[in-house]
Structures are given as structure tokens and as C-alpha cells.
Chains A and B, each alone.
Chain A
């Protein structure tokens, strides 16, 4: 009877709880340079749930019961009343020109964390932000605790919420921080897999083999939490990798195409992930693998896709097809050769380069070259969130196109200078790029001198600086007056995609790390010497004495 009662209570409880849905999918996209972009996405939706109201933080939270929703993450979200959260950990440089826009926009090197949180009089946003980054650091075994106030900014123009914000009386605030020197590795993937309902034992997650993924040319993982109005709270765990099948193929086989810019090497799940899908994840509502097909080449794909829609082949993962190993082959091919870069047009609207010029250790020049690849005028947001390791001289910011000064193309929206040891720079600007032209932006910067305790263990290596972010948002000819930076007209246009530049390395001057005691001793000796001598003269009076022979 007691057992029956318990079962009955459990059933009742499961009815009371919000319904949960789990969907997994994998998109495979062959790239122009022979590489293969794999994008995993695991979405758990907690239906009809709402983010915790920060006003309720002073009371104990309602008890939470999840079946599929990751409990460890759910607790963190409730504890700090986070409405929207994005954490990405990436390694490598995303090559926009050859790979195009990524499926997941957050591809900045290193760690990036941003969150929208409702304001609260009880616990401030900054306190919760601190708690959040420490909780996530523990959850994902990453150094996210270093995303402190020296790296935290609020660049609301480039980081608009991806979901919706609840209509609370208190406003929402954004916190954003990057740590470009953070390296993603197996210890981050293990806790990531633990958040999945089937772990990596079944379903698409089987393919998440750390030995292969962390060997990829580019790899990155992301955790995205958003609130969807009237639908619920959605957690999306994403993993993205750019794999080089040519490297894994012993014969370096490739397909010979009529067009030189379109060549793809063979691949299969076994060759690129070293695993196949043995069984489907039983709790997944949908489990889909999509393969983007080349349009002009002849290929052989096994097994037969469930459906083919234009250039997209779709496989539904179910137990009927096990074990699933998708194989893509191009018959009649010889060794692969990379397409020459000069023959290929960039795949994105903008091509951005950023460099730090200058050889000395106290000043430098930040150089940014933005090329507009499209035939129309493009306006783009430009965001720098620079730690105080680089200090801008804004009055030296100049724009040139083909050597002609065009400072009128740069509109400064907001600027916050860094505070040494405390606050980073936040620079938000809008650049107007004429069609098919290259804008060159230069800015003098100074490198500060750090206390010896502030240097990292390998001080001579220098510091990684976070990527700059470009958000192309307008592709028409809109005059300067039409656009007021203060209202958020930015989002009214189609959702803009962020373009991250590669990270930079800055090498501030280093003191001698073995010197603390010597400096204290030497400086204090000099000061004491002068101090003592001065007061010797000031306190003792001069007298004339007779030193002749008759003085005795």
C-alpha cells in the first residue's frame, strides 16, 4: 500500500511539474577549404516556466523538480535569478572569409559569458553576477572566476537578448565579460556531457568524442539559456567543431570538380568522430542529423537519408537504423589540394583584421582594417571591451579609406575609459563602410605598468586581449540623422550577427620579479640617508672651534 501511495504521489507530482521537451540535432556542413563544420545542439525546454523574479530572492525558492532539464544548471539559474545566459568556451580562430558565418554566433576565442538579469533591491545585479560566474566556474571547471569587474562591461548594443525579457517592473541589466586566454579542453566537456539526459551513451551525443573533437582545427562549446514568452525556459547546449577530414584520410582523397573552388574530401562518422551512433536517446522528442549537400558535385551517401529538402539531407535517428554511420564519398577522385585563397571571395559581408603595431613596451597603435565585401553600403557596430592593459587615446582615432582621411565615417556612441586595477574600457562606435572598400582605423594606445603581483605566472608571454566585435546591421543607404543611437533601433532591423576578430597579444613591461626586498632596502636606504642628514643639519647647531696648536 505504501509503495502504491508513493507511486501515486510521484505520478501526481509529475503531472504538477512543467512538461519538458528534449531535442537534439547535428548539422554537418562541408566548407570550401575541404573542412567540415559540425554543429551539435541539445535543446531542453521547460514548458510554461518563467525565470525567477529577482524580487523573490529574499524568500526561499519554490522546490524545483526536473526530469530532463539539467538540475545543476537549473539551480544556478534560480539561485541568481538569471533571465538569459550565454557561456561560450572556444579554441582557435574562426575563419569568417572561408567558413562563412558560424551556426552559433559566439565564436570568440576563449571564454565569453554574458547574462541578462533583472534588477533587485535585495541583491544587486553585480553581486549576483559575481556569484553566477563563480558557480559556472565550478560547474564547468573553467577559470570563469577571473571574469571579474576588471573585465565586466555592459555593451547592450551588441548583446541584445536572444529570447524575451519578462515584463517586470524592474529593468533588466546586461553583464558581459571575456577571458581570451581560457582554453577549452576535456575537463570542460565532461561536465557539459553530464548536463545531457542521455549523457554521451546514446543518441547524437555519442559522437562527442573528446579525442577527436579537441583535435579539430576549431572547437567550441556553448551554453545558452533564454526565456521564450509563453513557451518556457529553454536551455541549449551547443558544441561546434571544424574538422579537417583531409587530415584523417590516409589517401588524402578528394573530389575533382569542374569548379576549382568546390572540392570536398570523403568523410564518415567513423573517420571524423571515431564513433558511430549505436542507439537513439530514448527521451529525445526529436533527434535529427542534417547534412548540407554540395549542389554541383556527384557524391555517394550511405545510408539513404530520411528526406532530402533542396540541398539538405535529413536523417532521423531511431533504433531502426542502428548503428548509424553516415558516409560521404566522392567516387573517382585523387589527392586533395587546397583551393588558392586569392581565387575565392570571402563568404561574409565584412572581412576584419586587427593588429597592434609598435615595438616598444609603453605605447602602440591599434590598427583595424574592415573590408566591406558587399556592393552596398554597410553600417556596422564596432565594440571594444578592452581590459585596462591597453589604454586608448581616443583623440588619435582616425579613419582612412585608400589613404584618404574619412573621420566622418566613424560615429562614436559611447566610451568609458579604463580605471587601472578596476575597470575595462568600453568603446562602442558605428562605422559606415562604402561599397567594396576597406576602412582603416588607427588608434594610439598606451600600455600601463603593472604591479608585480598582477603579472600572470608566465609574465614575458604577455596578455591575451579580447576580440573586437563587429555587428553589421544596416545594408542600405541610411543617412546619419535617421539613426539615433539612444533608442534601440538596432534590433528593429533583422537580427544582426556578431563577427569576432582574432585576439591580440600585448606585452606590458615587466619588473624584475626577484627584486621586492632589494627595492625596499635600496629605496629606503636612500630616503633614510637623505632624511637623516637633513635632520642632522637642522637639529644640531654649528659652532666654531679652535683647532690650533695652543688649543690643548
Chain B
């Protein structure tokens, strides 16, 4: 690590820690995959009750085992743990950026770290002790190891991430491609993927399946039964809990007619995974950028999103400064995000705390938030493709065929 960046990084982490330890009122809207549920799970586990049969815990048994044995959750340790988690994530993001440039340090390191540690979408859920901070950390670590070519570490970290949230399993395809192709930016000069590298994928997939089986077994042993699979893994697909969040699923399935519910659950789940293969094909020359786009897709369309998901998506754009000149409506998406981030807590409070608004207000603001995320996603796709055209002469323009 370049030591010139250490003071900036430390200052950011220290500021983050002060924020975590200060008694800030964090609005309920950020407490989605919230810590009371984890604490409840830990409590049940410590009292000899099965958190997945006698309790209604939706977190992975591995997370519960971690918090019930190694890392106790108290009012003092929890902010430290979550701050450390954010620091690790930021460190990983900085190193992904360095790996992409293939340098040991750069002048933009502090900027990249700040884009993560100062992103309000990241800070708020982390202050609310949401477990999505851990998912972000695992995701960035898996990417970092993949960028560095440490395939086993990368696949193992990713297997942990899949334990926490099964719906990320489809990202294993771009992860394996990233391991074999490397993170260096080739957006401006797209080359088809060398077919020899495809042959390297099956062993990687086998290794991932092996890790996943091992971790699943460990989770089953630690929880004592297979009940956690339905409670924890199936929840994003069956949507048993309709608590309002920033995503598009909860109100849709609150208002859905009972006889169409299974059909639309299937449609929404399949829709989430439709994007993976096309984006991998289109961005086969720069799969890290494809990863970034898929994070955007998941942040917009996943069933139980927290603010961390769009937060990770937006922070990660700092790794791709080369596309900035080609972002054509960043002002509009920026304003949409500003609009949504003000409306979401306001309407949540009006509906559920003040009792003066109704559910439609909050639903409307989640639609705005969805548009904001979709806008960033579309602009990023366009910019990532447009960059290959390079600078144009004054009487030329780029159109689609």
C-alpha cells in the first residue's frame, strides 16, 4: 500500500467511526436487512432454539454462528464491526482500481476510497447495522481477488457471498470470466474473448461448486437442520415478508391478486437473471465493467434491496473514469437520485410514523428511485459502448443500426 494515502484513508475511516458511535437517529427506511433480526437469531441460537424452525430468522446460519461465537454483537462492538467492514470494502475498491490500472498506487486512490466511505447510500445502512454491508464487503473482496488472479480466494469469498444471498449465484459466470481475462480496461478497444479461455471455466465452476457444497454443509451442521434453506435462501424468491423497502417487489406483491402471485414471482425472479448472459457477451472484452452493470441490474430489480446495493453500484463507477466523458445525462440521473433520496425517508415517515400519507406516496418514491437507478444503468451501458467509437469529427455522429 502506498503510504502517502494512509492519512486520507485513516481520516475517512475515523470520520465514519465517529458517525457510527454518535447517537444519530437513523430512519427505519434504512433498517431493512436489519440487525434486530440478527440479534434475535443469535439469541435463539444461544438459548438452544432452532432460529429457522422455532424462529423466523432469514440470515444465513454462518452469519449467526459468526455473531454468536467469534464476534459478539453489543452496542460497543457493533459500530466497530460495521466500520471495519466498510473500511475493508473501501480498501478492496481502491485495490480493484489499482489492479485495473495495473499500478501499485495512483493519485485517485483517495477519491475512490472516499466515493465508497462518503457515499450516503453506503453510510446509512451501515449506521443502521444492516447486514448488506457484509454482502458488499464480500462482493468487493471476491472481485479484488479475481482481479489479482487469486482464483481460489476469489471463488471461496464468492461462495460465502452466495451463502448470504442466493440470488447472487448467477454472478459466478462473470466472476469466472474476470478471473480468466483480468481487470485491465479494454472498453475503448473491444476484442472478442479468446475461445481458449472458455476452456478454463469448467475447473473454476467445479471449484466453486465444491466450496459452495462445503459451506452449505457447514451451515446445515451449524444450524442443526435443513430448515434454514427455505427460511434464508428461498425468501428472496418467495417473498414471505412484504416490509416496504426501496425496491419494486414489495408493493407489487402486496397488491397482487392471490392466484397470479406464483406466476409473477417466477417472472420477477427470471427477469433478474435474464441480463447476466447478454451483458457478459456484450462486455466480454471488459468483464469488470459487465460486473459493474450487473450490480446495477441487481440493485434496481432484486427482491429485498437495501440502500447498500445502489450504493455499491454508484460507488463503483469511480473505478471507470474513462467512461465519464461519454455519460450523456448524468445531471438528470443525479437529480433523480437527489429527488428519490429526499422523498424516500419523507414519505416513509409520513405513511408509517405520522400516519398522514398513505402507501402510494412511498411507492411513488420507490418508482422514482427505480428510475434513477435505471437511468444510471442505461447511461453506463451506453457510455461503455460509445467509448469504443472514440472522439468524432465535427460532422459525424453515432447512431444505432
> What is the bound-complex CA distance between A361 and B251, given in angstroms?
16
Residues from chain A with a CB closer than 8 A to the CB of B43 are 394-395
| Contacts A509-B352, A542-B389 given; does A530 touch B300 at CB 8 Å | yes
Residues from chain A with a CB closer than 8 A to the CB of B301 are 527
Q: Which of A399-407, A463-471, A517-525 lies on the face that meets chain B?
A: A517-525
CB-CB nearest in chain A for B243 = A449
| Contacts A544-B398, A545-B396 given; does A360 touch B352 at CB 8 Å | yes
Q: Mask for A403-428, Cβ within 8 A of B = 1, else 0?
A: 00000000010011111110000000
B36 near A535 with CB under 8 A, answer: no
| Contacts A393-B40, A453-B257 given; does A547 touch B396 at CB 8 Å | yes
- B202 contacts the other chain (Cβ, under 8 Å)? no
Q: Mask for A536-549, Cβ within 8 A of B = 1, else 0?
A: 11111111111111
B378 near A451 with CB under 8 A, answer: no
> What is the bound-complex CA distance between A415 and B53, given in angstroms?
10
- B324 contacts the other chain (Cβ, under 8 Å)? no
B36 near A444 with CB under 8 A, answer: yes
Question: What secondary structure prevails in chain A residues at the interface with B?
Answer: mixed
- B322 contacts the other chain (Cβ, under 8 Å)? no
| Contacts A415-B54, A523-B367, A546-B395 given; does A361 touch B377 at CB 8 Å | no
* Partner pick for A516 among B56, B257, B353, B388, CB 8 A cutoff: B257
A544 near B392 with CB under 8 A, answer: yes
CB-CB nearest in chain A for B41 = A395
- A510 contacts the other chain (Cβ, under 8 Å)? yes
Residues from chain B with a CB closer than 8 A to the CB of A523 are 248, 251-252, 367
- A362 contacts the other chain (Cβ, under 8 Å)? yes
- A8 contacts the other chain (Cβ, under 8 Å)? no
A417 near B251 with CB under 8 A, answer: no
> What is the bound-complex CA distance between A539 and B400, given in angstroms?
10
> What is the bound-complex CA distance between A415 and B54, given in angstroms?
6
Residues from chain A with a CB closer than 8 A to the CB of B250 are 449
Best-surrounded residue of A393, A446, A544 (most CB of chain B within 10 A): A544
Best-surrounded residue of A393, A412, A519 (most CB of chain B within 10 A): A519
* Partner pick for A395 among B42, B254, B352, CB 8 A cutoff: B42
A362 near B352 with CB under 8 A, answer: yes
Q: Which of B75-83, B138-146, B305-313, B379-387 lies on the face that meets chain A?
A: B379-387
B400 near A541 with CB under 8 A, answer: yes
Residues from chain A with a CB closer than 8 A to the CB of B377 are 530, 534
> What is the bound-complex CA distance between A520 and B363, given in angstroms?
12
B397 near A449 with CB under 8 A, answer: no
* Partner pick for A359 among B278, B353, B360, B396, CB 8 A cutoff: B353
**Chain B 227-254 residues near chain A, CB threshold 8 A:** 240-244, 248, 250-254
Q: A512-B359, A533-B374 are in contact. List 16 more A-B contacts (CB 8 A).
A: A359-B355, A394-B43, A395-B42, A396-B36, A417-B55, A419-B240, A448-B241, A448-B242, A449-B241, A449-B250, A509-B351, A515-B363, A519-B251, A519-B254, A538-B278, A544-B389
Binding site for A on B (CB under 8 A): 28, 36, 39-40, 42-44, 47, 49, 54-56, 240-244, 248, 250-258, 271, 274-275, 278-279, 282, 297, 300-301, 351-353, 355, 358-360, 363, 367, 370-371, 374, 377-378, 381-382, 385-386, 388-389, 392, 395-401
In the A-B complex, the 3 residue pairs with the smallest Cβ-Cβ separation, listed nearest first, are A548-B395, A395-B43, A530-B374
Q: List 25 A-B contacts (CB under 8 A).
A: A362-B28, A395-B40, A396-B36, A415-B54, A420-B241, A448-B241, A449-B254, A451-B256, A515-B363, A516-B255, A519-B251, A519-B363, A520-B252, A523-B252, A526-B367, A530-B378, A531-B271, A533-B374, A538-B279, A542-B386, A542-B400, A543-B398, A544-B389, A547-B395, A548-B395
